[in-house]
Chain A
Amino acid sequence: MTKLLSMNRRNFLQASAAGLAAGVAPGLIGSPALAQTALTVGFIYVGPKDDYGYNQAHAEGAAVIKKMPGITLVEEENVPETVDVQKTMASMINLDGATLLFPTSFGYFDPHMLAMAAKYPKIQFRHCGGLWTEGKNPANTGSYFGYIFQGQYLNGVTAGYASKSKKIGFVAAKPIPQVLQNINAFLLGARSVDPTITCQVIFTGEWSLAVKEAEATNALVDQGADVITCHVDSPKVVAETAAGRGAFVCGYHANQSALAKDKYLTGAEWAWGNVYTNFIKAAQSGGKLGNFVRGGLKDGFVKMSPLGPAVSAEGRKKFEATLAEIMAGKFSVFKGPIKDNKGNVVITADKAYAEDAIDLESMAYLVEGVVGSTS
């Protein structure tokens, strides 16, 4: 095992030279694996790789880097957040020679990935979603995430124009900061169109629970919500049920337009392929992998689904204007004054959080106009 590691490290150091050679004379070198730094990369998913949602978005990103020269991709799906994931990481390192690991589920971070990082200090670990802290977490670990709430804000803009009942709905898994950001951004987007709009949220309590997600969607539509979005692992059921009941749908994780057809307004999608490509390029060229990597629409971490036919001309105009502002880096979704739905001021009038503001990552409130509770 030590031998395997040192070999990989040696190759690692030759990276820049080999990279240059491949760039100058492609095809002259017989094996592309020799031309580029050989790098074994491990991906771990908490659910099935093809769930039409969270895990699939990551697996599609992994598929992008699989095509890069010199890359050996090893993947494991349905790995629970227990000792299993620790052993899976160790197994990828010991048996497959992986030197860069991407455990993609939030619950993998603490204690599982941190334990493995301490044990294998020469291996690089990059985790999706975790809050990596300088000085507290080891240097061979890091986290990456996207400001997908920007996408939910734009979802909300289209919802604001599409809603006739002035009630929109959100099917959510658990009241955690990443989900609360999305719910709040969705309503703030809608309120930028019409400040009387309210958003009803239903928590299902689990990340993947098909029948309950369908029931939640039906309950929202029964209460008059006419635009529905969600934050669960697999939005397939919510999109189909909502469209079946005649409500408009804003997508999440991936493009669900094929499921909701003309009821699809737009959707907030991950673009993990870009993120993973950047990591791999850095690793192959011997550069330093970032420890705290974040990005939004502007950075290509997140993208929007093409607008559906139900988006009005007016809605399209506002959507595009807002998107342009976000792309220019001049927009802040969470701009004071904002009250929570219990009446407390949570963001004062003089504050406007940029998307990378660290305060947002510990959001624990629902903004005024959201009907729901965080516990």
Chain B
Amino acid sequence: MTVEANDPGLSVAAGSGASLRPLLEWLARRAEPVAIGLVAILIGLALFSLFILAIGKSPITLFQLMYTGGFGSWFSIQNSLSRAAPLLLTALCVALPARLGLVIIGAEGAVVLGGVAAAASAMPFVGIVPPVVLFLFMGFAAAVVGGIWIGFAGFLRHYRGVNETISSLLLAYIAIALMNQFVEGLLRDPASLNKPSTKPLPKDYMLGQIPGMDVHWGLVIGVVACILSWVLIEITSFGFAARIAGGNVRAAQIQGLPVGKLIVGFTAIAGGFAGLAGMIEVAAVQGSANASLAAGYGYTGILVAFLARHNPLAIIPVAILLGGISASGGLIQRRMGLPDATVLVLQGTLFIVILFCETFYGRFKIFNPDLWKRS
């Protein structure tokens, strides 16, 4: 690929008719992240192949297995989607504040406390209200608790000048300690012997699978949350103000934008989504709150958000890519006898290259209609 080369085909296309031009421009701008992303993935896979060759295994076998395990069949696709579901919400917890220029790395805390809140709020109502109402209760409680947790980091940032990166990380560790204390103390179901948990939800009070699929409803909730977040940022005035404040806080303040409210609001919404991820873990997977809630979804979400360049819609394919890699990781272990860490090496290589390739944005004339020849 040559930088800023004059593509003759492009000139022809651009000159072929004025009516086509807006469409081409639209396509060109949309094509840039896709093309750069795909080339980056290819380079990353090539580098990883060198690593696999160096340890004396066949990269071709490995990539075949990755395809089989991640996307090669309906079973594998559902496997990848299931693993992607919680990442959609935790990535939003990073991406939304990032639009305001905040780096939140403590989504894990909101996930675990959201799970505990969901389980605790369900207890008095099981068997009294219908399942759908119960899910609303649980989701509300989880979102409120998660929202308070991350919103507190936003509050501290704006009103006390405390760096949100460190406060959110500290709050995550504190949240995990609280979760353990609750699950093994106050909220422990005495019948949960060797794995301390809250009282499990009865079967008919579990958030089930999407009809016709082997994936729970969390996927749908996650996708809807991503779309809503996109609307919030791109279309509403709230999102518009946030984008200005994210560009330059001082300028936003001079313009009279309520920066404090924006920061607390965005971090609280972000935390609400992460809390909801905890509720889904409880209602759709675990059936109760326990230490398995701290499965690292909050931390993986950071990576997803940055790879998606904090665009809520881009989070969806990135999360599915990550889910696919994790789904195929098992097959690589089993068939090739490679350790689990192989997947980490692959992820690391791939993500470093993808993030590195951001430097190529705006460098190719083909994607930049402003530089096209006027016809």
Contacts and interface: CB of A to CB of B under 8 A. Distances in A.
Interface of A: 1, 42, 48-49, 74-84, 86-88, 90-92, 94-96, 106-107, 109-111, 129-131, 174-178, 205, 361-362, 375
Contacts of B184: 174-175, 375
B281 A174 contact: no
18 contacts: A1-B75, A76-B334, A77-B339, A82-B281, A82-B285, A82-B292, A82-B295, A83-B285, A91-B76, A92-B334, A106-B195, A110-B195, A111-B287, A129-B194, A176-B194, A205-B180, A361-B193, A375-B185
A87 B79 contact: yes
B75 A48 contact: no
Contacts of B326: 84
Contacts of A87: 79, 82-83, 327, 330
Given A106-B194, A107-B195, A83 B331 contact: no
A175 B295 CA distance: 21
Nearest to B184: A375
B114 interface: no
B296 interface: yes
B194 A95 contact: no
Contacts of A129: 194
B180 A75 contact: no
B69 A83 contact: no
B292 A81 contact: yes
A177 B193 contact: yes
Interface of B: 68-69, 75-76, 79, 82-83, 85, 180, 184-185, 193-196, 200, 214, 216, 281, 285-287, 290-292, 295-296, 326-327, 330-331, 333-335, 339-340
Given A84-B83, A87-B83, A111-B286, 5 more contacts: A1-B75, A74-B334, A107-B195, A109-B195, A110-B195
A187 to B, nearest CB: 20
Given A87-B82, A205-B180, A75 B185 contact: no
Given A77-B340, A82-B285, A90-B75, A95 B83 contact: no
Contact of B292 (A90, A107, A361): A107
Nearest to B344: A78
A327 B222 CA distance: 57
Contacts of A92: 330, 334
Nearest to B285: A83
Contacts of A375: 184-185
A75 B333 contact: yes
A77 B335 CA distance: 13
B188 to A, nearest CB: 8
A107 B196 CA distance: 10
Top 7 nearest A-B pairs (CB, nearest first) are: A74-B334, A81-B292, A78-B340, A176-B194, A87-B79, A80-B295, A82-B295
A46 to B, nearest CB: 10
Contacts of A48: 339-340
Contacts of A362: 193
A109 B195 CA distance: 10
Contact of B334 (A94, A96, A130): A96
A106 B281 CA distance: 18
Nearest to B180: A205
A178 B216 CA distance: 33
Contacts of B196: 174, 176
B194 to A, nearest CB: 4
A95 B200 CA distance: 31
Contacts of B180: 205
Given A84-B326, A87-B83, A77 B333 contact: yes
Contacts of A79: 330
B75 A94 contact: yes
Contacts of A110: 195, 200, 287
Contacts of A130: 194
Contacts of A75: 333-334
A36 to B, nearest CB: 21
A367 to B, nearest CB: 18
Nearest to B65: A95
A158 B101 CA distance: 61
Given A77-B333, A88-B330, A106-B195, A83 B296 contact: no
Contacts of B75: 1, 90-91, 94-95
A82 B287 CA distance: 11
Contacts of A107: 195, 290-292
A1 to B, nearest CB: 8
B340 A76 contact: yes
B194 A178 contact: yes
Contacts of B69: 91, 95
Nearest to A91: B330
Nearest to B68: A95
Nearest to A179: B194
Most buried by B among A77, A175, A178: A77
A225 B214 CA distance: 53
B16 to A, nearest CB: 49
A111 B283 CA distance: 12
A94 B327 CA distance: 13
B214 to A, nearest CB: 8
Contacts of A76: 330, 333-334, 340
Nearest to B80: A87
Nearest to A79: B330
Contacts of B339: 48-49, 77
A62 to B, nearest CB: 12
A216 to B, nearest CB: 16
A214 B295 CA distance: 24
Nearest to A178: B194
B333 A177 contact: no
A74 B285 CA distance: 25
Given A82-B292, A129-B194, A176-B194, A91 B331 contact: yes
Contacts of A178: 194
Contacts of B287: 110-111
Nearest to B197: A110
Nearest to A1: B75
Contacts of A176: 193-196
A371 B13 CA distance: 82
A81 B286 CA distance: 9
Contacts of B292: 80-82, 107
Nearest to A85: B292
A107 B287 CA distance: 13
